[in-house]
Amino acid sequence: MARRARPSTSSSAPTSANLTCYEADIILIDIIGFSKLESVEQHELITSFTENYKQMIQSVIAESKIKFEDLIGGFISTGDGFYSILAPSLKGYGVIFALSLKSFSDVALKKHTYFKGVRIAVHTGEVHPFHDILGHMNFVGDALNECARYLDQKRFDISHVVVSDTAFESFRLFLDKFPKYAEVLRDHGFRSGNAFEFEDKHHYIYVGYVVWIRKNGIINPPKVR
């Protein structure tokens, strides 16, 4: 079976700044067909994507009246995309954030004729933050590799969001805690596909779901303290 991170035993809402390890939603964004683009196109697209993502986060923070660290624990660049580690207090919101990011990207980047969309994976697991040689926050942990396995499948050539079984369970618990989000998702036409399984090269079995919304839009997080 797929490896699983140890479940969190804390009922408080910790911040990423004061923890040596914590359980959180991990979102991996991959630009479809990025490696096949010319260098100039890659630079133009990743620059545009990064700037638009920053604008989206700034908008979410402002509208939700929260701080940056209340939303984002950190980022990890992958070359053709990046990981976003959400704040541990927002565990379960990652599915909604990923759907919002997909909607935003599809609209903001359509001006680039060679933009084919984004593939996004969401997973919940334990991450270990540290400061790298440049002093920047970085992360390690099995959960990062597990998240990447869901994009290794390349199940679709169009923009989509795939969610691990652990992230889907965190999402369900989030909706139980914040029932108004279930109503918001219904208004956006939220749908989830049937569970699917796959085996990686190490013979671990993974379970996931493809999710989508029919009405594009950004759904802001709750203010959690």
Per the rule left: phi > 0, alpha: psi between -120 and 50, beta: everything else, 69 is: alpha
What pLDDT was estimated at residue 3?
46
At residue 205, the 3 state secondary structure works out as: strand
What pLDDT was estimated at residue 225?
64
CB 45 within 8 A of CB 32: no
Give Cβ neighbours of residue 55 (< 8 Å, ≥ 6 apart): none
What pLDDT was estimated at residue 16?
53
Among all chains, which residue has been given the structure tokens 């565990």? 91
Among all chains, which residue has been given the structure tokens 């939700």? 64
What pLDDT was estimated at residue 6?
37
CB 219 within 8 A of CB 102: no
Prediction pTM value: 0.88
In the chain, the DSSP E strands lie at 22-31, 72-77, 81-86, 118-131, 137-140, 160-164, 191-192, 196-199, 205-212
DSSP codes of every residue in 138-187:
EEE-HHHHHHHHHHHT---SS-EEEEEHHHHHHHHHHHHH-THHHHHHHH
What pLDDT was estimated at residue 11?
41
Instruction: Record the tokens describing residue 224, joined without a space.
Output: 């959690």
Domains of the chain listed by start with CATH number:
20-212 (3.30.70.1230)
pLDDT tens per residue, the chain (225 residues)?
Answer: 344 433 333 444 455 555 689 999 999 999 999 989 999 999 999 998 899 899 999 999 999 999 999 999 999 988 888 999 999 999 999 999 999 999 988 887 888 888 888 999 999 999 999 988 888 888 999 999 999 999 987 666 788 999 999 999 999 999 999 999 999 999 999 999 999 999 988 899 999 999 999 998 999 999 876
How many Å is the maximal CA-CA distance in the chain?
Answer: 48
What pLDDT was estimated at residue 1?
38
Q: What is each CA distance from 63 to 35, 103, 174, 215, 221, in whole angstroms?
A: 35, 17, 20, 20, 9
What pLDDT was estimated at residue 85?
97
